[in-house]
Amino acid sequence: MQQSLLGLLLALLCAAGASASSAANQLSLPSYHYAAPISVECMNRSSETGEHIENPDSHEIEWIPFPVCDETKKPLEFNYGLEGEVNCTIPMVSDPFFHLLEFYIHSDAPLSCRLPSRPPPQLEVLGEKPAAQEYIPLVFALAGTLQSSHMHISTHMNVLLHSTPKHHIHPHDSGVLDSGIAYSTSPLSHMEGSWTRKLIIGDPLPLSFSVRWFPTPALPKTEGKVEWQGIGGHIYTSTVFYSLVSFLAGACVSGVYFLGIVLPSRLKGRALGGATPLGHGLNGIGNGWGIPMAKRNVD
C-alpha cells in the first residue's frame, strides 16, 4: 500500500520534472530584444522559370538575403517591436531581377521570404545539440501591372508582424516572432504622387514599408474587446451591444413620447388642421414607428 503510494508520488514528481525541463529548454532559447535587427531572406528563384532553386545534394530550398538597400547598404531588416517607415531602394533593377518582378506581380511565383523566429543562440549548452533555427514565412504580396516594355509597381507596402503571446512586463519587452505578412497598398492608383512607380530595366526601385507590430497573433483588442479601427473609427463588440441597448431604449422613449405627447397633440391638432412635427396625418398609413392602429386610440 505504502509502496504504491510512493510509486504514484514518484511518477508525479517525474512528470512535473519532465515538464519543467521542457519549459526550461524553451526558456533557454533566446528572444529578440526590443529593436533587435531581424534580417529578411528570400527564396532564390530562377529568373527564367520563376521556380525556386534547390541545393542539388540536399534538395533544400536555397534562401538568399533580400536585395541590398541603398539607404543602409545592407539587405532589408526589420527591428523587433519598432514601428515606423522603412525605406529600401534597390539601386538598380537588373535584367534577371526585372523578370523576377514580373513573376511576383503576376503571382506566378510569390516573393516568398522568411524571418528567423528567434535570434541565433549565443551560448551553447555543453553536450546539447543546439536547437534548429525556426523561421516564419513572410510573403511580400507585390502588386502592379505589366506592359510590354515596362511595368507599374506599387512600391509602398504595409508589413504586419505578430509576436507570440507572452506576459509583457515592460512596454518594450523582448519576444519571439509568431507570423507576418506584407502587401502593396493602392495597387489600382496610377495617380501622380502616389506610390505607383513606372519601372524599366536599370531603374532604381524605391520600396517603402510601413511596419506595425502586434503583441499576440490576434488582431488588435482594447481592454479585451475586439477593436476594428475601421472606416468611421473604433468599433467595439461592446459598442454594438450598447448601440442595440440604446436603440431599444431610444425606441421605447420615442414610443412613449409619441403615445404620450405627439399623439395627444395630434388628436388635438386635427381640429386645428392636423399639422404635427412628424408631418404625418393620423389618417396616414405609416407613423414611422409601426405602432398598431389599435394603440392609437390611447387617450
Ligand X SMILES: *[C@@H]1O[C@H](CO)[C@@H](O)[C@H](O)[C@H]1NC(C)=O
Is residue 214 a contact partner of residue 162, using CB atoms and an 8 Å limit? yes
Alpha-carbon torsion angle 272, 273, 279, 284, nearest 10: 120
Residue 246: beta bridge partners? none
Residue of the chain from 28, 87, 107, 147 that contacts ligand X (CB under 6 A): 87
Q: Which of residues 87 and 133 has its CB atom nearest to ligand X in the complex?
A: 87
Q: Which of residues 97-156 bind ligand X (CB under 6 A)?
A: none
From 15, 64, 218, 251, residue interacting with ligand X (rule: CB under 6 A): 64
Q: Does 53 bind ligand X (CB under 6 A)?
A: yes
Nearer CB in complex with ligand X: 161/176: 161
- 75/269 with CB nearer ligand X: 75
**Does residue 57 belong to the site contacting ligand X (CB under 6 A)?**
no
Binding-site string for ligand X from residue 227 to residue 266, where x marks contact by CB under 6 A and - marks none: ----------------------------------------
Written as nine digits, the cell of 136 is 516564419
49 binds ligand X (CB under 6 A): no
Q: Which CB, 104 or 258, lies closer to ligand X?
A: 104
Residue 42 per-residue DSSP state: E
Smallest gap from Cβ 55 to ligand X, in A, equals 10
Please count the other Cβ atoms lying within 10 Å of the Cβ belonging to residue 144. 21
State yes or no: residue 85 binds ligand X (CB under 6 A): yes
* Cα–Cα distance measured from residue 97 to residue 142, given in angstroms and rounded to the nearest whole number: 14
Among 208, 210, 216, 254, binds ligand X (CB under 6 A): 208
Q: How far apart are CA 297 and CA 292, in angstroms?
A: 10
Shorter beta-carbon distance to ligand X: residue 64 or 200: 64
The span from the CA of 115 to the CA of 94, in Å, is 25
What is d(CA 13, CA 191) in angstroms, rounded to the nearest whole number?
Answer: 68
Question: What 8-state DSSP symbol labels residue 32?
Answer: B
Nearest Cα to Cα of residue 78 among 18, 87, 262, 223: 87
Q: Residue 44, interface with ligand X (CB under 6 A)?
A: yes
* Interface ranges with ligand X (CB under 6 A): 44, 53, 64, 85, 87, 208
